[in-house]
Chains A and B, each alone.
Chain A
């Protein structure tokens, strides 16, 4: 045999391997093939190919593995059990950039499924290798490493802490400053994942100087980058007042507010979340947002968006209104209550309605003026209906009850209380009658109206136990009216009259 023929065998073998891994990588992109591939024992075949002499085969094998592990957690577990991870981690430091990218992809795909799998990735020493990859020159490798780190940190505080301890944060902050958009995006997302767990982790990220760089990217035209930037900022500011103040000091207002009109829905949602996380801490921060015209922007945002996207905006209004009566008044002046009323009427999902009910309760609980503003928007009957509806969730019922109670305890606007008097259950009725008993002794016109609209009749029909608060209120209402009228409207008065007719002896 000639030398050529001998070499031909090798060439054929190499070609076949390359074709095999490429086909597997191709096939594993489609979810319907995965099961077949798994049953055919693809894992055990790919593993030796990771150690192949040809770099292309290695890379493609890693890519195929990554795609498989990405698909579900069983396959990811199979990757862990197959002892493939140490191999990958070892080669992360050794091989060329394409292989590094593929290996980081596999690590990411494994770590994404559960905290246990992520822990397995950490245990095999992947973090140090990934952090070294962050120092690589190639943006693609950095991106893959940042992505994997983000997925590891996403699960819980311990994993996040491990990522921080590996020294990833300063490098991620450096990655944000790179010109490549996708790298910026992914490192912002990784930072967001790291600092979402605890104030300490967020503080580490802040100490690395992330806020200034994140704040610079607020006006970037790329929507997906903006999503991640706002998410990172909101995760930082959610933990404590200090962190929120540091975010505010980066002068993100009022630039942030323009992003509430962004064409991208998630950008808007993340901005609203950021505003919410800042506003919830102290009255001063809320005041700052109000003074920047943030309430108007949020109200418009609530009006323009639908469904779940609305929720952060609604909660922002609630948080701002909860701090002080001045801020609540600012929300009312900015037409926030009307918008909330519209939202309450439009939305179908319970948790959003619960959020709206809570926000309304927070705004209306300060003074009679606030309560009147809320009551005039005609939300009280709707809240009562939500509280009584059997189809409402428990949380919604509790929230709407609390809101009703908060508002009713301050409300002296009788026309709004009127409709509630007729179909409120006793525990709500107590507050309504209580408000009437406070107002009626001092207002003669209201007394007249109370009789003509049938309120007095309704009050007489209430069966209150003697000694209860409700009974006390009813008595004090009755004391405001002449005895005949009270008796006239008491139930059973007609029978008493008829009895008197029977007993009457005509003279002569």
Chain B
């Protein structure tokens, strides 16, 4: 304790002083310290708040980043899908075009415009044309020749007639005719004609002119003998030619004579035979669904007294008692001879005069 007292007594003053001083210092620095403390606090709080804010924003960033990444990836996937789809579509279209192109080309060449077929057709047409041209040419030549021949014949006949008409101009042994004049180097063509020609006779001038101009040919009879144009016999007679024709005319049987009497029956037999050979089923195929139905006779064909044969079986009244024979009459129309001989006989009975 002493020590304590001692100490206190020794250091009392000092202690007081110090304490006082300290007090004073503390008092003098208090304001400053407060400010400093505030500053420190404010700094600290600011820092904390900033830190917190930074933390918040960091969090937000993280969230946003993740979300955006997610969304971006989603959209990207869609976009890629679309792009691929478009790409594929384009590719498919291109392929389709390729196929269509080939098909259409093939189809058109095959069916609508076949180049080779057309070429062949045109070549064939050219050939056909040349054939037609040639045929037509031949036809025309033939026509021309015929016409020329006709003209020539006509002129020949005319010259012949002239020669016969002017036969008196023929030169004689003594005297030369006008066509064989001594001043000529050689005789005229007419001279030779005159030599050959038969002079016209005066009696039947008309008859001969008629015959020479119209080139009537003598008729060829069945025996092959040619009847000559002979002079008309005086009297009410037909020309000899016509008489010959009538006499030697070939047999001309009527239809009734030339056909078989039983031709109808024969034809029927033949037809039946043909049908029999071609038939597939001997037994006719009968319907079986309505077999039980009873046959109902028609009102006007059935009667309980039996139906009349008159009007269905026979059409004339039948009285068997009066019959001479029991055979039916054959239904054949007898021929009318006048029709068969029409225009072939020289009887004028059937010709209507106008």
Closest residue on chain A to residue B136 by CB atoms: A261
Give the Cβ gap from A396 to chain B, nearest Cβ, in Å: 30
Further 20 A-B residue pairs, CB within 8 A, beyond A295-B129, A334-B126 = A254-B132, A258-B135, A258-B136, A258-B139, A261-B139, A262-B143, A292-B132, A293-B128, A293-B129, A293-B133, A296-B129, A296-B130, A296-B132, A296-B133, A300-B133, A326-B121, A329-B122, A330-B122, A333-B125, A333-B126
B248 within 8 A of A: no
In the complex, what distance in Å separates the CA atom of A138 from the CA atom of B354? 9
Residues of B close to A191: CB separation below 8 A: none
Residues of A close to B125: CB separation below 8 A: 290-291, 330, 333-334
Contact, CB under 8 Å: A263 / B128:
no
B126, B128, B129, B133, most chain A CB atoms within 10 A:
B129
Give the Cβ gap from B116 to chain A, nearest Cβ, in Å: 14
Question: Contacting B136 at CB < 8 Å: which of A260, A291, A292, A334?
Answer: A260
Give 21 A-B contacts (CB < 8 Å), ordered by A residue: A138-B354, A254-B132, A258-B136, A261-B140, A261-B143, A263-B143, A293-B129, A293-B131, A296-B128, A296-B129, A296-B132, A296-B133, A297-B132, A297-B133, A326-B118, A326-B121, A330-B122, A330-B125, A333-B126, A334-B126, A334-B129
In the complex, what distance in Å separates the CA atom of A334 from the CA atom of B132? 11
Closest residue on chain A to residue B129 by CB atoms: A296
A-B pairs with CB below 8 Å: how many?
Answer: 48
Give the Cβ gap from B126 to chain A, nearest Cβ, in Å: 6
Closest residue on chain B to residue A326 by CB atoms: B118
A291-B128 contact in complex given A257-B136, A296-B133, A330-B122, C-beta closer than 8 Å: yes
B147 within 8 A of A: yes
The interface bits of chain A over 151-192 (1 if a CB of B lies within 8 angstroms of the residue's CB, else 0) are: 000000000000000000000000000000000000000000
- What 9 pairs between A and B have smallest CB-CB spacing? A293-B132, A296-B129, A261-B140, A293-B128, A296-B132, A333-B122, A261-B136, A334-B129, A258-B139
Give the Cβ gap from A283 to chain B, nearest Cβ, in Å: 14
A263-B132 contact in complex given A290-B125, A333-B122, C-beta closer than 8 Å: no
In the complex, what distance in Å separates the CA atom of A296 from the CA atom of B147? 25
Residues of B close to A258: CB separation below 8 A: 135-136, 139
In the complex, what distance in Å separates the CA atom of A260 from the CA atom of B126? 19
Contact, CB under 8 Å: A257 / B132:
yes
The interface bits of chain A over 329-346 (1 if a CB of B lies within 8 angstroms of the residue's CB, else 0) are: 110011000000000000
Residues of A close to B131: CB separation below 8 A: 293
In the complex, what distance in Å separates the CA atom of A261 from the CA atom of B147? 14
Give the Cβ gap from A221 to chain B, nearest Cβ, in Å: 10
Contact, CB under 8 Å: B136 / A297:
yes
Residues of A close to B354: CB separation below 8 A: 138
The interface bits of chain B over 139-158 (1 if a CB of A lies within 8 angstroms of the residue's CB, else 0) are: 11001000100000000000
Residues of A close to B133: CB separation below 8 A: 293, 296-297, 300
In the complex, what distance in Å separates the CA atom of A15 from the CA atom of B354? 26
Closest residue on chain B to residue A330 by CB atoms: B125
Q: Among residues 256 to 299 in chain A, which have CB atoms less than 8 Å away from a CB atom of chain B?
A: 257-258, 260-263, 290-293, 295-297
Residues of B close to A257: CB separation below 8 A: 132, 136
Residues of B close to A293: CB separation below 8 A: 128-129, 131-133
Chain A interface extent, by class: 20 to 34
B-side residues, CB < 8 A to A, are 118, 121-122, 125-126, 128-133, 135-136, 139-140, 143, 147, 354
A263-B139 contact in complex given A291-B128, A329-B122, C-beta closer than 8 Å: no
In the complex, what distance in Å separates the CA atom of A333 from the CA atom of B125? 8
In the complex, what distance in Å separates the CA atom of A292 from the CA atom of B132? 8
Residues of B close to A295: CB separation below 8 A: 129
In the complex, what distance in Å separates the CA atom of A291 from the CA atom of B129? 9
Closest residue on chain B to residue A261 by CB atoms: B140
In the complex, what distance in Å separates the CA atom of A492 from the CA atom of B354? 98
Residues of B close to A261: CB separation below 8 A: 136, 139-140, 143
Residues of A close to B136: CB separation below 8 A: 257-258, 260-261, 297, 300
Give the Cβ gap from B108 to chain A, nearest Cβ, in Å: 14
In the complex, what distance in Å separates the CA atom of A345 from the CA atom of B143? 31
Residues of A close to B132: CB separation below 8 A: 254, 257, 292-293, 296-297
In the complex, what distance in Å separates the CA atom of A313 from the CA atom of B59? 100
Give the Cβ gap from A470 to chain B, nearest Cβ, in Å: 34
Closest residue on chain A to residue B143 by CB atoms: A263
In the complex, what distance in Å separates the CA atom of A326 from the CA atom of B117? 11
In the complex, what distance in Å separates the CA atom of A54 from the CA atom of B153? 47
In the complex, what distance in Å separates the CA atom of A217 from the CA atom of B339? 29
Q: Among residues 232 to 265 in chain A, which have CB atoms less than 8 Å away from a CB atom of chain B?
A: 254, 257-258, 260-263
Residues of A close to B121: CB separation below 8 A: 326
Residues of A close to B129: CB separation below 8 A: 293, 295-296, 333-334
Residues of B close to A292: CB separation below 8 A: 132
Closest residue on chain A to residue B127 by CB atoms: A293
Residues of B close to A291: CB separation below 8 A: 125, 128
In the complex, what distance in Å separates the CA atom of A263 from the CA atom of B122? 31
Residues of A close to B118: CB separation below 8 A: 326, 329
Q: Among residues 115 to 171 in chain A, which have CB atoms less than 8 Å away from a CB atom of chain B?
A: 138
Residues of B close to A254: CB separation below 8 A: 132
Closest residue on chain A to residue B122 by CB atoms: A333
Give the Cβ gap from B164 to chain A, nearest Cβ, in Å: 31
Residues of A close to B128: CB separation below 8 A: 291, 293, 296
A261, A263, A333, most chain B CB atoms within 10 A:
A261
Residues of B close to A329: CB separation below 8 A: 118, 122
In the complex, what distance in Å separates the CA atom of A263 from the CA atom of B121? 32
Residues of B close to A297: CB separation below 8 A: 132-133, 136
In the complex, what distance in Å separates the CA atom of A426 from the CA atom of B209? 77
In the complex, what distance in Å separates the CA atom of A300 from the CA atom of B131? 13
A254, A296, A329, most chain B CB atoms within 10 A:
A296
A291, A292, A293, A297, most chain B CB atoms within 10 A:
A293
Residues of B close to A300: CB separation below 8 A: 133, 136
Give the Cβ gap from A332 to chain B, nearest Cβ, in Å: 9
In the complex, what distance in Å separates the CA atom of A297 from the CA atom of B140? 12
In the complex, what distance in Å separates the CA atom of A292 from the CA atom of B128? 8
Closest residue on chain B to residue A335 by CB atoms: B129
In the complex, what distance in Å separates the CA atom of A296 from the CA atom of B137? 12
Give the Cβ gap from A181 to chain B, nearest Cβ, in Å: 18
In the complex, what distance in Å separates the CA atom of A293 from the CA atom of B137? 14
The interface bits of chain A over 284-326 (1 if a CB of B lies within 8 angstroms of the residue's CB, else 0) are: 0000001111011100100000000000000000000000001
In the complex, what distance in Å separates the CA atom of A329 from the CA atom of B121? 10
Closest residue on chain B to residue A294 by CB atoms: B132
In the complex, what distance in Å separates the CA atom of A184 from the CA atom of B74? 98
Closest residue on chain B to residue A97 by CB atoms: B354
Closest residue on chain B to residue A293 by CB atoms: B132
Contact, CB under 8 Å: B126 / A263:
no
B122, B128, B132, B135, most chain A CB atoms within 10 A:
B132
In the complex, what distance in Å separates the CA atom of A138 from the CA atom of B136? 40
Closest residue on chain B to residue A296 by CB atoms: B129
In the complex, what distance in Å separates the CA atom of A195 from the CA atom of B42? 126
Residues of A close to B147: CB separation below 8 A: 263
Closest residue on chain A to residue B141 by CB atoms: A261
Give the Cβ gap from A3 to chain B, nearest Cβ, in Å: 34
In the complex, what distance in Å separates the CA atom of A295 from the CA atom of B133? 10
